[in-house]
Amino acid sequence: MLGFQPPAIGEEEIAAVAETLRSGWLTTGPRAAELEGRMAEYLEAEHVLALASGTAALHLALVALGIGPGDEVITTPITWPATANVIVHTGATPVFVDVLEGDLNIDPALAAAAVTERTKAVLPVDLAGQPADLDPLLALGIPVVEDAAHAAESRYRGRKVGSIADVTCFSLYATKNIAAGEGGLISTNRDDVAQAVLDLRLMRRGDGSLYDIPVPGYKANLSDVLAAIALCQLDKVDRHTEIRHRQFAAYDEAVAELAGITPLARDDRDLHALHLYVVRVDAETAGATRDEYQRALAEENIATSIHFLPVHKLTYYRERFADQPPLPVAERAGDEVLSLPLSPAHSDDDIADVVAALRRVHERFAG
């Protein structure tokens, strides 16, 4: 089976982990601090804080902004459930609005229309690496917490993602462009948010063995073992981008010939992080549904994935927020999206194998 997103781990990461273990720092220490410093430079942001996961980053961002029961947070349904779950964890209510047809990112006009006096933040996602349209969201005058789990390398209209929103959250999960296995980052130019996240992620020790807590915090810090992996991945990010470019170009060329198979839109004004290659399968033109394509590709030993099923249709959200209005663009997309294998660990031949299999399957379904 050709893997969907195998990690691109080399001898550098293995050596860095061994060195970290020998150093005696298992938990947060000098490597986590080095990662924060280097990521702050990379993201062109004042503050970067290393955390246990992208989910923890999103959660602490909302808590740091004081969001809680009675508040509303506007977000997109086309995301990993964690984006919405953290809103629920604060006690606030997620308000899902529909997405744009082209890139499946949150529709800023619908976000604006959903604002009430209870709205305390808007939480867009940079799906697949395409930044959400941030300017109209920032113009709402409400804190923007950006889920940039897919967008470590992205720029929006020339500005680095990570330096634009009130808080930007990244993931270092195994499949991400900068992968540590698990981990997350918060970047912000707001001193108050950075200070709050510092107090929330781990108890800060005072002198000697004395300690005190200003807030009941969480345990959401990043271990140095994982930070060491992330540092190696950061060293390789430009090299990996080149490979991602080649893989995107090969897929673009292939799907241009396949009726009913259309990649998500990418905006030329922005820099795309090339994290996921998502196509939409239009069953009528492509001759079969997304699920049939996924099964047929699996029979060809090609693993694919789905980004994403609309969150508001998943059991918890469907039952808890039963009066959620339909979101037709997201709901249709949820039936059509299919992500093709993409990873710097894949060779050009691997990608050619995917293309050949996709052509065979398309020939069979669409004739």
Ligand X SMILES: Cc1ncc(COP(=O)(O)O)c(C=O)c1O
Footprint on this chain of ligand X (rule: CB under 6 A)? 53-55, 79-80, 82-83, 125, 147, 149-150, 171, 173, 184
CB nearer to ligand X: give 149 or 338. 149
DSSP structural state of residue 116: -
Which CB sits closer to ligand X, 79 or 221?
79
From the CB of residue 133, how many other CB atoms can be counted at a distance below 10 Å?
Answer: 21
Shortest distance (Å) from residue 197 CB to ligand X: 15
120, 160, 176, 313: the active-site residue: 176
Of 85, 63, 88, the C-alpha closest to 216 is 63
Q: ∠257-259-263 over CA atoms, to 5°?
A: 80
- Indicate the SS3 state at residue 72: strand
Cβ of 306: how many Cβ atoms within 10 Å?
A: 15
Query: Closest approach of Cβ 148 to ligand X, in Å?
Result: 8
| Residue spans of alpha helices (H) in 114-256 | 134-138, 191-201, 224-235, 237-255
| CA–CA gap between residue 294 and residue 17 (Å, rounded) | 36
Helices (H), the chain: 11-23, 30-43, 54-64, 82-90, 108-113, 134-138, 191-201, 224-235, 237-255, 283-286, 290-299, 315-320, 328-336, 348-366
β-pairing, 47-51 vs 72-75, is unpaired
* Minimum CB distance to ligand X, residue 179 (Å): 10
Min dist. Cβ of residue 9 to ligand X (A) = 17
> What's the DSSP call for residue 207?
S
Q: Which is nearer to ligand X, 125 or 297 (CB)?
A: 125
Nearer to ligand X, 171 or 343 (CB): 171
Closest C-alpha among 264, 278, 276, 312 to residue 77: 312
120 assigned to active site: no
Toward ligand X, which CB reaches closer, 9 or 250?
A: 9
Nearer Cβ to ligand X, position 99 or 296? 99
Q: What are phi and psi of 137, to 5 degrees?
A: -75, -40
Q: What is the nearest approach in angstroms of ligand X to the Cβ of residue 176?
A: 7
Mind telling me the catalytic residues? 176
